[in-house]
Amino acid sequence: MSMQWNLEQLRLFVSVAEQRSFSAVARDQRKAQSAVSSSIALLEEDLGVSLFARSSGRQPILTEAGTALLDEAREVLRQCERLNGRALAMMRGQEARLRVAQDEAMPYQPIIESFEALSQKFPSVEVQLTSAAQGEVARKLVERRADLGLLFFHDQIPEALERRVLGSVEMVTVCGVDHPLAKQKRVDGQQLARHRQLLMSTQSSLYPGSEPASPQVWRADSFYVMAEWLVRGLGWAWLPRHVVQYPTYQQQMVELISEWAPPALVVELVWRRDEPLGPAARWLAERFAVHLQAID
């Protein structure tokens, strides 16, 4: 069997599978619907399998073979984007500007130390650092308003982004020094459920540990807003340890011993698959990894 299929046919196959419509894909691609159908038919001929069961109503339904090959096709297209990205990075050389978006609750010290090192290694690179709520970091990358992102793992990272785990941040159960729970030290689920919980959430995603442990909940999209509420006695919360250790909150919070704390927040580096990271961005990514590992 000769492999004559091409990347354009794979793109059309993936698009039709995702949109479940030949006509919608034809409109998006500004092609005749017959041209889309012909490309898919040629792909099926080359692969020796039927990808769509066209007889089952108007919508194209993936066959068993089509379902099995869809992930493979997506991976081939991802690999092509990576290849183009690497080649583009080689052609461009060192970037003139590096735009970094970070979750506003990232540990402060490792990030600052990484940028300090960058300034000495790549003194001519212009840096733009923006801090945002969790979902906004990914959005900036998708909309090409940032080159590199630092965020806490969540399960709705857009498909266009590549990801790399850099480290983790411990979560602790805390309350204000004047809160009724402050005298308990060790608390169980029943005790926590009797008091208002302050929870992190954003519009576009949820952090690990975002399921409430109390029937009464206040939510905010910033760990620092939660900390301000907490020191005023408005509830208890799960906070990253570095937020609790922030100088402003020293002597104002009590860490509670509890088996109910959520798992550690996983710190991820994210970037667009089709936008290559230049040498300064790749070097900075390694610095982030080194400095974040040091706080584990």
Each domain of the chain, given as residue ranges in start order, spans 7-90, 94-163+276-293, 171-263
**Cα dist. 270→218, 276, 290 in Å?**
29, 12, 16
| Residue length of the chain | 296
Query: Which CATH number is correct for 171-263, 3.40.630.10, 3.40.190.290, 3.10.180.10, 3.30.67.10?
Result: 3.40.190.290
In angstroms, the first-to-last Cα distance of the chain is: 53
CA angle, corner 48, sides to 46 and 53, nearest 5? 110
The CATH superfamily of 94-163+276-293 is: Periplasmic binding protein-like II (3.40.190.10)
Alpha helices in 144-278 (DSSP H): 189-193, 223-231, 241-244
Hey, what CATH topology would domain 7-90 get? Arc Repressor Mutant, subunit A (1.10.10)
φ/ψ of residue 110, rounded to 5: -60, -35
The tokens for 278 are 């230049």
Single pTM value for the model: 0.62
Assess whether the region 94-163+276-293 and the region 171-263 belong to the same CATH fold.
yes
Q: What is the pLDDT of residues 226-263, one digit of tens each?
A: 999 999 999 999 999 989 988 889 899 999 998 887 88
Tens-digit pLDDT string for the chain (296 aa): 556 888 889 989 999 998 888 888 988 888 888 888 889 999 998 888 999 987 656 788 899 999 989 989 988 888 887 777 667 655 666 688 899 999 888 888 888 999 999 999 888 889 999 998 767 898 999 999 999 999 888 767 788 898 889 888 889 999 999 999 999 878 998 999 999 999 987 555 556 566 788 899 999 878 889 999 999 999 999 999 989 988 889 899 999 998 887 888 889 999 998 887 888 999 999 999 888 875 54
Strands 161-169 and 171-176: unpaired
Decide if 122 contacts 280 (C-beta within 8 A).
yes
Query: What is residue 153's three-state secondary structure?
Result: coil
Query: What is residue 269's three-state secondary structure?
Result: strand
